[in-house]
């Protein structure tokens, strides 16, 4: 772990974060290593502090800003494949939920793996996913970070129950394989790498 990046994100230093990440990239450290070993742990740390009432929403927000400033640097490196897309997929955070960092990382990884990704943003209702499917999305990736928005995933699955062409893959901090099985999702991923495999598997695409 790069302690300086971890600290910069945890304390919400949106100026220092990209500089430190650029230094690591220049030193030849792989973008996915910086992401998984320093950046994501910082967000997890902030969540733990919030759960213990040691920080509040404003601190989570400024940490998220610093994280996003860093992700802007990482994205072009991760998403650069230059190949024909494997499939078109869409991704969105479900209705009522505004958390988008995990969704953005999954979108980046999917792009990096060769998928064409329609990013629908946050607070997406079933109609929004339907529009993406009408525009050719073969898989829908649903993200939820709140136990209160988790049940909306089931509503999206119900909405598409008559369509056996489209695959629905779910994820986000409170989501488990057991929950995915319970609501009959076509796949689950606990992190962005697992997300790519889950999407590929659901569409019958072999990953190298």
Secondary element (H or E) of residue 93: strand 88-93
Residue whose token pair is 């629908």: 120
Does 9 contact ligand B12 by CB under 6 A?
no
Number of residues that bind ligand B12 (CB under 6 A): 38
The binder of ligand B12 chosen from 100, 114, 166, 167 (CB under 6 A): 100
Q: In angstroms, give the least distance from the CB of 162 to ligand B12.
A: 22
Task: Give the number of other CB atoms < 10 A from CB of residue 135.
Answer: 10
- Do residues 81 and 111 lie in contact, with contact meaning Cβ atoms separated by under 8 Å? yes
Task: Report the alpha-carbon angle 10-16-18, nearest 5.
Answer: 95
- What Å distances lie between residue 187 and 27, 71, 180, CA to CA? 37, 25, 7
The rounded distance, in Å, linking the Cα atoms of 22 and 69 is 11
Task: Report the alpha-carbon angle 20-34-169, nearest 5.
Answer: 135
Residue whose token pair is 């078109």: 88
The rounded distance, in Å, linking the Cα atoms of 39 and 33 is 9
Q: In angstroms, give the least distance from the CB of 188 to ligand B12.
A: 6
Binding mask 113-152 for ligand B12 (x = CB under 6 A): ----------------------------xxx-xxx-----
The rounded distance, in Å, linking the Cα atoms of 15 and 55 is 21
Task: Tell which positions 46-65 bind ligand B12, by CB under 6 A.
Answer: 46-47, 50-51, 57, 60-61, 64
Nearest to ligand B12 of 20, 91 (CB atom): 91
Kindly indicate which of the ranges 10-18, 101-109, 111-119, 130-138 contains the residues binding ligand B12, using the contact rule CB under 6 A.
Answer: 101-109
The binder of ligand B12 chosen from 133, 139, 189, 200 (CB under 6 A): 189
Does 171 contact ligand B12 by CB under 6 A?
yes
Q: Name the token pair of 166.
A: 């489209």
The binder of ligand B12 chosen from 5, 90, 95, 97 (CB under 6 A): 97
Nearest to ligand B12 of 4, 190 (CB atom): 190
Does 192 contact ligand B12 by CB under 6 A?
yes
Under the rule (CB under 6 A), what is the footprint of ligand B12?
Answer: 40, 43-44, 46-47, 50-51, 57, 60-61, 64, 96-103, 105-106, 141-143, 145-147, 169-174, 189, 191-192, 195, 198
């Amino acid at each position: 772990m790069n302690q300086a990046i971890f600290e910069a994100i945890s304390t919400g230093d949106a100026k220092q974060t990209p500089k430190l990440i650029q230094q690591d990239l220049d030193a030849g450290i792989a973008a996915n290593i910086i992401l998984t070993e320093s950046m994501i742990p910082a967000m997890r740390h902030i969540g733990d502090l919030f759960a213990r009432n040691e920080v509040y929403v404003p601190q989570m927000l400024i940490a998220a800003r610093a994280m996003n400033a860093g992700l802007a640097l990482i994205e072009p490196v991760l998403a650069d494949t230059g190949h024909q897309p494997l499939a078109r997929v869409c991704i969105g955070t479900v209705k009522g939920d505004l958390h988008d960092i995990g969704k953005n990382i999954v979108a980046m990884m999917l792009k990096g793996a060769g998928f064409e990704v329609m990013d629908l943003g946050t607070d997406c209702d079933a109609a929004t996913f339907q529009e993406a499917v009408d525009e050719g999305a073969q898989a829908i990736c649903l993200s939820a970070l709140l136990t209160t928005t988790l049940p909306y995933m089931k509503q999206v699955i119900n909405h598409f129950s008559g369509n056996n062409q489209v695959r629905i893959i779910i994820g986000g901090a409170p989501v488990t394989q057991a929950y995915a099985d319970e609501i009959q999702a076509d796949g689950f991923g606990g992190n962005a790498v697992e997300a790519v495999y889950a999407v590929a598997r659901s569409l019958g695409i072999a990953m190298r």
